[in-house]
């Protein structure tokens, strides 16, 4: 599977935020979108997720069933966690699993996936706590846990480390690396280091620049 972006142009009003951008994300790759505030990181992520329509250019997911909407292949996590405050942590994940099509004929398998997600993000002890009582970091981990309750190959993450401490950021890095190692694709907009062993970087700005080589993500500017 490969995500191909060709000559992409995205505008807000008369201003072009993304102008003639082309790059590919292959299976197993993690791409970090970096750059100053206003450079277009969130705009690009939302366009890839199908929430914004480009002026021109194309976004193609090669290897995906052409009869299915490409958005069905994507997990999108934006700035907001979209947690329901009145539902417990467990109920929130069960809701997202059903909404994202992660339920299966085998209910036990679906339940196991939810509990595995709680464990991976280290929020299992909070399963019966209403989301409204969680700290900001716990809410973010709950929001990220939905990546694991329904299998989708393309992850589109907008500032995924917001509200996370160093330990939680390391948890997220391991989750991302596991997904990539299994053949998943990840594009993450970030202004902070994710602590990944390796990633490719696309620095957005007046002249978008894609790193030619893999780099350690010790601290994108």
- If asked whether residues 159 and 148 sit together in one domain, one would say no
Distance, in Å, from the CA atom of 194 to the CA atom of 31, rounded to the nearest integer, reads 11
Residue 74 lies in a domain: no
Residue 146 inside a domain? The answer is: yes
Could you give the number of structural domains in the chain?
2
The answer as to whether 94 is a domain residue is yes
How far is it, in rounded angstroms, from Cα 56 to Cα 67? 23
Of the three residues 107, 134, 152, the one that is the final residue of a domain is: 152
pLDDT, tens digit (0-9, with 9 covering 90-100), for 14-31: 889 999 999 999 999 999
Instruction: Name which of 55-64, 125-134, 139-148, 205-214 the model is least confident about.
Output: 205-214
Query: What is the chain's mean pLDDT, rounded?
Result: 89
C-alpha separations of 24 from 47, 58, 167 in Å: 15, 12, 31
Of 194, 197, 221, the residue nearest 209 (C-alpha): 221
Same domain flag for 126 and 159: no
- Count CB-CB contacts under 10 A for residue 39: 20
What CA–CA distance (Å, rounded) separates 214 from 121? Answer: 27
Domain that holds residue 121: 84-152
Provide the edge-to-edge strand list for the sheet that holds 185-189: 74-77, 154-158, 185-189, 30-34, 200-203, 209-210
User: Within this chain, do residues 172 and 213 fall inside the same structural domain, yes or no?
Assistant: yes
Residue 32 inside a domain? The answer is: yes
- The whole-model pTM stands at 0.89
CATH number of the domain where residue 188 is located: 3.40.50.300
pLDDT reading at 4 higher than 80: yes
Q: pLDDT tens for residues 44-64?
A: 999 999 999 999 999 999 999
Q: How many residues does the chain have?
A: 221
Last residue of a domain, one of 152, 175, 194: 152
């Amino acid at each position: 599977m490969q995500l191909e972006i060709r000559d992409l142009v995205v505008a807000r009003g008369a201003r072009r935020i993304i102008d003639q951008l082309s790059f590919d994300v292959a299976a197993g790759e993690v791409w970090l979108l970096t750059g100053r505030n206003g450079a277009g990181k969130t705009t690009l992520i939302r366009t890839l997720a199908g929430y914004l329509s480009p002026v021109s250019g194309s976004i193609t997911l090669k290897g995906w069933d052409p009869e299915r909407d490409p958005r069905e292949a994507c997990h999108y996590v934006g700035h907001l966690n979209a947690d329901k405050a009145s539902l417990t942590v467990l109920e929130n994940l069960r809701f997202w699993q059903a909404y994202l099509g992660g339920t299966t004929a085998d209910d036990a398998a679906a339940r196991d996936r939810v509990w595995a997600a709680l464990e991976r993000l280290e929020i299992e002890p909070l399963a019966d706590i209403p989301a409204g009582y969680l700290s900001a970091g716990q809410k973010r981990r709950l929001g990220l846990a939905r990546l694991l309750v329904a299998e989708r190959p393309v992850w589109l993450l907008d500032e995924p480390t917001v509200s996370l401490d160093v330990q939680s950021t390391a948890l997220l890095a391991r989750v991302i690396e596991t997904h990539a190692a299994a053949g998943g694709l990840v594009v993450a907009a970030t202004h902070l280091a994710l602590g990944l062993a390796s990633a490719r970087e696309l620095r957005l700005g007046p002249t978008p620049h894609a790193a030619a080589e893999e780099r350690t993500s010790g601290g994108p500017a």
